[in-house]
Amino acid sequence: MEPIEILQEFNSCYLKIQAIAQDENWLLLIADKKIDPEAATHVGDTLHYLGEVMGCVEEIVEVKFNQETE
């Protein structure tokens, strides 16, 4: 996989998890305490760490892009 493909996959995962975190059914599960409230924290942590990883990969993609345009 090329770095840009890796970044695109991480971004896709991020968007899907973000959609879950904002989904009404997910929020109701948490509000009704049908699942461990820590689950919301874990989803938030997952989004945070995916964002951090994407930032690292973006740097590689930018360097590679700059090298190719020179």
Structural domain spans, the chain: 3-69
**Spatial separation of the C-alpha atoms in residues 7 and 13, rounded to whole Å:** 10
How is residue 11 written in tokens?
A: 């971004």
Which tens digits make up the pLDDT trace of 44-53? 999 999 999 9
**Spatial separation of the C-alpha atoms in residues 20 and 41, rounded to whole Å:** 13
Which tens digits make up the pLDDT trace of 9-66? 999 999 999 999 999 999 999 999 999 989 999 999 999 999 999 999 999 988 777 7
Q: Say what the pLDDT of residue 69 is.
A: 74
